[in-house]
Amino acid sequence: MNPTFDSYAPKLRVVFMGTPEFAVPALRAVHQSHEVVAVYSQPDRPVGRGLELKPPPVKSEALRLGIQEIHQPDKLSLPGEFEKLQALRPDIIVVVAFGQILRKNVLELPRFGCVNIHSSLLPRWRGAAPIQRAILEGDSVTGVATMKLVEKLDAGDILLQKSTEISQQDTAGTLHDRLAILGSELIVPTLDGLARGDLKGQPQDESKVTYASKLTKEMEWLNPWDQTGEVLDRQVRALNPWPGTSLQIEVNGKAERLKIRQATPRLDIQGPSGALFEKYGMLLLGTQKGSLQLERLQWDGKKEMEAAAVMNGLKGRGISLPLKSQKMSVGGPS
């Protein structure tokens, strides 16, 4: 069947810039529909105890797809890098979590400009951690947006958007994977619309802008004295897998770190704030309002386990509930 005039889009010469797993589905989609003339990714990095150099996920996928032209400059602003990019004659540059800021000369190089996939419904959650911030703030809906890249952070015209509900079970990890797929479904219609000339961007409403600031390792510590079970549940889910969430528990006069992997808010059960206690066979953390039912946990240096196994382990050590947790700050206990 021949494509109709409305659906037909000429193939574009695309330079794809991306680094982590989030960008891989989009690379696959673009490769299937347009001509990927080159892939740019961050340099290989040492990982693990042996510090073995490992390629980023986008590079690995590009090699699997048979893409020959792969560049990994430390910075695009280094001498000669712009000239290499210019020689590729891209119609458009697709940027997905690349990890470098593009300068004006790069933004203006392709005839269709540079297009980005951003993991939020802009203008909400511009910035570094939109997935986590959406969960932390209790948003019921999020999504992905394709937008024109401009010099100002995440401020370009919105091209297309696609939404998804945030469930009470969603973690940053599950939402990340779902949004990566949504982004891959959105990028080809975006490129096709730009190629046909019938997709026009919409300016963002600056009065509705919110910023998703970068996560820090210190955010892992739960504060049940000042927060509700509901808020702590969002923290557990938003910071899973990184940086995770933890409590510092006093066990026989010694502080032990307990990582909280999965939990459920229980506003119907109240206990002492900051204390681990048992009720109805559940392991609970008392909070400012209600409790947090702890379901999957991990003592520092041990394997992850169910709450029942943690309680049995404590009994086996002759330790009784309730147990107190310590208030933590950036420098340690406070």
Distance of CA 129 to the CA centre of its chain: 6
Reference 266, options 257, 250, 249, 279; nearest CA is 279
**190 and 71 in one domain?**
yes
Domain-terminating residue out of 186, 212, 238: 212
Residue 63 sits in which domain range? 13-212
Determine phi and psi for 294, rounding to 5 degrees. Answer: -90, 125
pLDDT in tens, 224-256: 999 999 999 999 999 999 999 999 999 988 999
**47 and 193 in one domain?**
yes
Question: Domain holding 252: CATH number?
Answer: 3.10.25.10
Determine phi and psi for 196, rounding to 5 degrees. Answer: -75, -25
How is residue 103 written in tokens?
Answer: 């300068």
Q: Running DSSP on this structure, what letter comes out for residue 267?
A: T
**Torsion region of 168: left, alpha or beta (phi above 0 gives left; psi -120 to 50 gives alpha):** alpha
CB 183 within 8 A of CB 21: no
**113 and 18 in one domain?**
yes
Question: Domain holding 188: CATH number?
Answer: 3.40.50.170
pLDDT higher than 80, residue 6:
no
Q: How many domains does the chain have?
A: 2
Domain-terminating residue out of 196, 212, 228: 212
pLDDT in tens, 7-46: 678 999 999 999 999 999 999 999 999 999 999 999 999 9
Q: Give the chain's mean pLDDT.
A: 94
CB atoms within 10 A of CB 51: 9
**328 and 259 in one domain?**
yes
* CA atoms 323, 329, 333, 334: torsion sign: negative
262 occurs within a structural domain: yes
**173 and 264 in one domain?**
no
**207 and 223 in one domain?**
no
Q: What angle do CA 134, 101, 18 make, to 5 degrees?
A: 70
**223 and 136 in one domain?**
no
Query: Which string of b and e fits 131-155 if b means at least 16 CB within 10 Å?
Result: bbbbbbeebeebbbbbbbbbeeebb
Determine phi and psi for 214, rounding to 5 degrees. Answer: -65, 145
pLDDT in tens, 146-165: 999 999 999 999 999 999 99
Angstrom distance (rounded) from CA 95 to CA 120:
15
**168 and 51 in one domain?**
yes
The per-residue DSSP string of 6-68 comes to TT--PPPEEEEEE-SGGGHHHHHHHHHHSEEEEEE-PPPEEETTTTEEE--HHHHHHHHHT--
How is residue 128 written in tokens?
Answer: 């570094």
**237 and 184 in one domain?**
no
**238 and 180 in one domain?**
no
CB atoms within 10 A of CB 11: 12
**317 and 197 in one domain?**
no
Instruction: Indicate the pairing of strand 141-148 with strand 52-54.
Output: unpaired
**240 and 148 in one domain?**
no
Domain-terminating residue out of 182, 212, 242: 212
Mean pLDDT, residues 174-178: 98
Mean pLDDT, residues 70-76: 96
Angstrom distance (rounded) from CA 17 to CA 72:
10
1 occurs within a structural domain: no
3-7, 71-75, 245-249, 261-265: range with lowest mean pLDDT: 3-7
35 occurs within a structural domain: yes
